[in-house]
Structure 1
């Protein structure tokens, strides 16, 4: 058998369940037959005991005083044999107190000459199991014949054990029950497995389409099983994100091409004008300055790409040290304000009086904060005024840094993608330069510092990002 051969879930589970069900039912059937056999034997012996007692009472009534009948067993013995509910007739004896047979039903084709030892008759047990000559392993049921308060003999009924324990009808019923339950169980698991595997097969088919970058598929909506629903829903979300990432990758190629082509074209034109003496003196110097600025911008973009790729591959080390985070934030804010003197942004910082220490790489924290502050400033639009508030607080062994801006806010449908690499938003991509790596890069750095970065809320006039680090 090929061990690498794959089989469907439907076939696997129905086959496995059927085998398990059959083994379980066979065990139950064996135990049930054992219990039924024991119960049937006890019931038949009790009935036989009642019949024997009834026979003894009738013999005592119809016989002479102190005597036992010497003729063959009367017809009422045969009338009672049907009560025993067995396919063969039992041996029925009337014996005296010495154990000698007086008469019997003689249905086995020979004159009964059995003698019953006194030990058998003297035992108090009315039901005994003996190995009797010419009969074999049998049950012996006895009942005393009482006349005028004296025991004048016994009614003895002998039945082979095999006859008492005979269960032909019960065997048939158990067999029918096992077969019916097997078929019903197999049909039930088949229907349920088919119902459960249907959405899984649909997801499997959709996964093959996604592998070929084909997102044109539909998945079942009315799934009641929680786990299957979560699988289908997660796959839908994953495929939507993949489709979005495909779109982002296409936009990235176009964006990077545009971002690099524009300054290159500009630099080429400016330098060509200087070379051809189209501009001279101060104007030529101005053209060269513009070219240098465009070159610096391209260097920054390339550096961002290299830094992001290096960090993604865990190629950047972090140096953790214990720092007072309030003082560290003040340094970062001061540095940002110095480099953005011409900005019309109002920056506010609020830190608690109590010193809060964390294990952190100060250079990496500075990168995150600069990215968040630049991102907040860009939300105001070119040349617009706005306010940025940086608030630090301590809660449950965690230090939280909230960066709030009064900008335009983030569109609802864009919120789940803001930490995706190269995502810049529909409006932002036309208003500002860049590659859309700032927030994705900041999130990666925060997580490498045992912290996290998240968007708390965003609406027109207020967007809040939260940066979290464990307190030392």
Structure 2
């Protein structure tokens, strides 16, 4: 069996991978941005340094080229003042680019003169790319030396790109920030996921308990997350419903067993009495007639079970034929009235206009008879009355069966379509398996319709059968 990993492990791992990739991308972009801004800042400072040196030469030497001198001390002083963090090579040149002076202890890229195209370029800052013998890239900053608006020379500062972009403290700070964000993100997702996963683990554990038949499960009541609350609440409602259905199943199984056992016991006792000649003559015939009635009732109950199982397994044929609905319902109601031992006041309100539909008349009669029998057994009043109302709404036919009986108890209404269910009042008054309403609902659904309890109270009960009208 494949070993599965916990949700906490998967979420934490995937988040950490995403976090690390994101931080790496951010770090690369940050390093590039730091290098770029550092380069721009230092080039600007180098430009300022060149302007300072040019002004200083004019001020000290009066613009005489032959008096140009070396300025290492001045440059160092200015570097510290401007916080340039570099020591560029400084060239003092004549107007044509001939080198007059250069700072000491620096790598000299130009020995005697600076190329004219560089000196006369309009760009103050220029990037220099030499041949393969020169390692790295360099930047050149040139500033004119003006004496009474006359060009008397140039101050040229050259520094390598590597030095200009070199930073240490910023990278260390960036590394600390990235590591801190990584640890904080991992801790946050771990503890948040742990809090989120805990109720799911509790629901999973409770599901295992339900699987083992233990319906008394405990789950947290107070959850701030809407989705988790709905999950837990739905599971608790499902568990309560399963517990009710399991209790109902045991009770109904016992009832069905009793209903099937009673006629068998009765038949066995009656036939044994006749066999042993405990009764003879007319009394023996009466015992045999009672046995036949009980046998017929037993056969009827077994037939109901077989039909119900066939319908539930979708092996129940529906044979539609074109019928006029007013005439069909009227005939079925009259047939039912004739078979009743006592007359029942049953009124039908037909459709205003004749309507022909495709319907399985035999299956529809089963539903109508079940609803009428159900209505008849609810009477506890002297003036009992049943109404059958037909309505045509859109592409549906509605058949409502109303009675003025005692009604169905509110706590029993949700279970009336459960197989083998019989209410407390009917359980002791009516013999049967409790398959009438569930069977009728399945037939209605097999015909693409439905059967619902519309309303029930002390004033009576109303069932609504809906069937499609095919054109």
Taking structure 1 as the reference length, the TM-score comes to: 0.91
Counterpart position of 2:292? 292
Q: Does 1:161 align with 2:173?
A: no
Secondary structure of 2:316's partner? coil
Secondary structure of 1:427's partner? helix
Counterpart position of 1:346? 345
Q: Identify which range, 76-85 or 112-121, moves more after superposition.
A: 76-85
Counterpart position of 1:387? 385
Q: Identify which range, 13-22 or 245-254, moves more after superposition.
A: 245-254
User: Is contact 1:44-1:84 (8 Å) kept?
Assistant: no
Q: CA deviation at 1:59?
A: 2.5
Change (3 A) 1:111 1:314: closer
Q: Identify which range, 230-239 or 102-111, moves more after superposition.
A: 102-111
Counterpart position of 1:38? 36
Q: Does 1:91 align with 2:93?
A: no
User: Is contact 1:248-1:422 (8 Å) kept?
Assistant: no
User: Is contact 1:106-1:112 (8 Å) kept?
Assistant: no
- The whole-number CA distance in structure 2 between the counterparts of 1:84 and 1:357 is 102
Q: CA deviation at 1:124?
A: 0.4
The equivalent position to 1:403 in structure 2, one of 401, 404, 420, is 401
Per-residue CA deviations over 1:255-291 (Å, capped at 9, x if unaligned) read 1221122222222333333344444444333322222
- The whole-number CA distance in structure 1 between the counterparts of 2:121 and 2:457 is 100
Counterpart position of 1:470? 468
The equivalent position to 1:429 in structure 2, one of 405, 427, 430, is 427
User: Is contact 2:63-2:152 (8 Å) kept?
Assistant: no
- The whole-number CA distance in structure 2 between the counterparts of 1:136 and 1:115 is 21
- The whole-number CA distance in structure 1 between the counterparts of 2:356 and 2:191 is 61
Change (3 A) 1:195 1:376: farther
Which sections of structure 1, spanning at least 5 residues, go unmatched? none
Change (3 A) 1:79 1:258: same
- The whole-number CA distance in structure 2 between the counterparts of 1:358 and 1:187 is 68
User: Is contact 1:73-1:103 (8 Å) kept?
Assistant: no
User: Is contact 1:68-1:153 (8 Å) kept?
Assistant: no
- The whole-number CA distance in structure 2 between the counterparts of 1:95 and 1:84 is 24
Per-residue CA deviations over 1:314-341 (Å, capped at 9, x if unaligned) read 2212123444433332232222222225
- Aligned residue pairs total 468
User: Is contact 2:351-2:390 (8 Å) kept?
Assistant: yes
Runs of 4+ aligned residues of structure 1 deviating over 6 Å after TM superposition are 109-112
- The whole-number CA distance in structure 2 between the counterparts of 1:364 and 1:325 is 14
Counterpart position of 1:242? 242
Which sections of structure 2, spanning at least 5 residues, go unmatched? none
Per-residue CA deviations over 1:2-57 (Å, capped at 9, x if unaligned) read 8x111111111111111111112212221232233223322322232233223323
- The whole-number CA distance in structure 2 between the counterparts of 1:128 and 1:111 is 14
Alignment of 1:14-33 (within 5 A): 14-33=12-31
- The whole-number CA distance in structure 2 between the counterparts of 1:449 and 1:69 is 115
Taking structure 2 as the reference length, the TM-score comes to: 0.91
Q: Identify which range, 244-253 or 209-218, moves more after superposition.
A: 244-253
Counterpart position of 1:184? 184
- The whole-number CA distance in structure 1 between the counterparts of 2:323 and 2:169 is 88
Secondary structure of 1:72's partner? coil
Q: CA deviation at 1:448?
A: 1.5
Counterpart position of 1:219? 219
Secondary structure of 1:22's partner? helix
Counterpart position of 2:334? 334
RMSD: 2.5
Alignment of 1:446-457 (within 5 A): 446-457=444-455
- The whole-number CA distance in structure 2 between the counterparts of 1:224 and 1:330 is 58
User: Is contact 1:356-1:471 (8 Å) kept?
Assistant: no
The equivalent position to 2:69 in structure 1, one of 68, 71, 76, is 71
User: Is contact 2:390-2:397 (8 Å) kept?
Assistant: yes
Secondary structure of 2:184's partner? helix
- The whole-number CA distance in structure 2 between the counterparts of 1:111 and 1:293 is 124
Q: Identify which range, 303-312 or 39-48, moves more after superposition.
A: 39-48
User: Is contact 1:392-1:400 (8 Å) kept?
Assistant: yes
Change (3 A) 1:154 1:311: same
Q: CA deviation at 1:92?
A: 2.2
Counterpart position of 1:373? 372
Counterpart position of 1:362? 361
Per-residue CA deviations over 1:375-406 (Å, capped at 9, x if unaligned) read 2222225x865322222223342222222222
Counterpart position of 2:413? 415
